[in-house]
Amino acid sequence: MAISKTKYQATDEEIRALFARHGITGITQIAPLGDGEFNAAFRVETPDMVYVLKVAPPESAPVLHYEQGMMHSEVYWYEQIHAHTDLAVPKVIASDFTHRDLGSDCFIMEYLDAQPLYKFSFTDEAYRAVQERKIEMLTEIHRVKGERFGYPQLGLQDTWYAAIRGMAEALVQDCEAMGRKTPDGRRFLALIDRRREILEKVPCRMVNFDLWDSNVLYADGKLYWIDPERSFYGDPIADFITLGKGQKTPLDEKTEEIAIYNRTASEQIRAGREECIRYAVAVAYLALIEEVERYVRYEPDNPVYQRNERDARDMYDMAFAVLEAD
């Protein structure tokens, strides 16, 4: 298991005190939960119910600019999903940003008796059906419209161009503040400016941007979504990074996924020149995240550090080929 620098090491005593203050007593068991690389999560049992406690990194932990206030963001997006879609997501029982019992932001939600998709050995036919349902669910969050773009916890912008440029600029600054150079990040900023006209026309929708099979749970033929904290208001095409063959595949090679999406989407997606450019911007942004976050979270000998380095290079190469064409 990867060792992350950001996970909060909560004690049983802290957890019991937090739950008691929110009216939950009689805890019988507390255990670490999940393989996430940023937040800490715990399974907390009582005789009547099983809960999940999610805890943000401590204030002293090194985090990237866009990760600041991310626990607030996750609660916000769960609220949006509950209010505007029929998707199955956990119910938030209580949120706590006082640091009175735990030295970090946290919230309590219901435990779902389900497992991530990647843990199942589906037949090819069953896996296709599951992925089709995941894509259909994606069209639901893309009906959640925003008035301005970006991360709500960090401030919103009037256009996707202004938002994505600011998001990328913040990552470049994070990187350089650590004494590292990012020529690819600077190259990306220039390409965002080059494609400004296209990016200023993008619709404002909820974007999950983290819909990997590890964040989709499955039980008894039903799918559940978790961990929406990296969501933002932006370009819905950005969510195609997790579909089909993944983030290293150009949009125009995801014809099957686009066709499935368009069956239930209120706004159709196609893979024309402008759409491919928009998708490449999202891929380059993810590459920049992976490039920079490895410096914050891991040591160079960590396998995840090395994975991020390889993945970022591949994503940059694909995205830049599209963004620099013509």
Supply the CATH number for residue 86's domain: 3.30.200.20
**Of 77, 80, 106, the residue nearest 93 (C-alpha):** 106
In a domain, 82, yes or no: yes
Q: For residue 72, what are its two tokens? A: 């607030």
pLDDT attached to residue 303? 87
Query: Is residue 4 situated within a structural domain?
Result: no
Q: What is the pTM of this model?
A: 0.92
Please provide the average confidence, as pLDDT, over all residues in the chain. Answer: 93
pLDDT given for residue 2 in this prediction? 45
Q: Which residues of the chain have pLDDT under 50?
A: 1-2
CA 58 to chain centre: 20
- Tell whether 100 is covered by a domain: yes
> What's residue 74's pLDDT?
95
Of 88, 115, 142, the position where a domain reaches its end is: 115
Residues 109 and 135 in one domain: no
Q: What sign for the dihedral angle of Cα 261, 263, 269, 273? A: positive
Total domain count, the chain:
2
From 85, 115, 145, the end of a domain falls on: 115
Say what the pLDDT of residue 63 is.
84
Same-domain check for residues 219 and 299: yes
CATH code at position 229: 3.90.1200.10
- Identify the pLDDT of residue 7: 77
CA distance readout (Å), 76 to 2, 145, 228, 278: 28, 14, 9, 26
- Rg value, the chain, Cα: 20
Q: What residues make up the domain containing 145?
A: 122-323
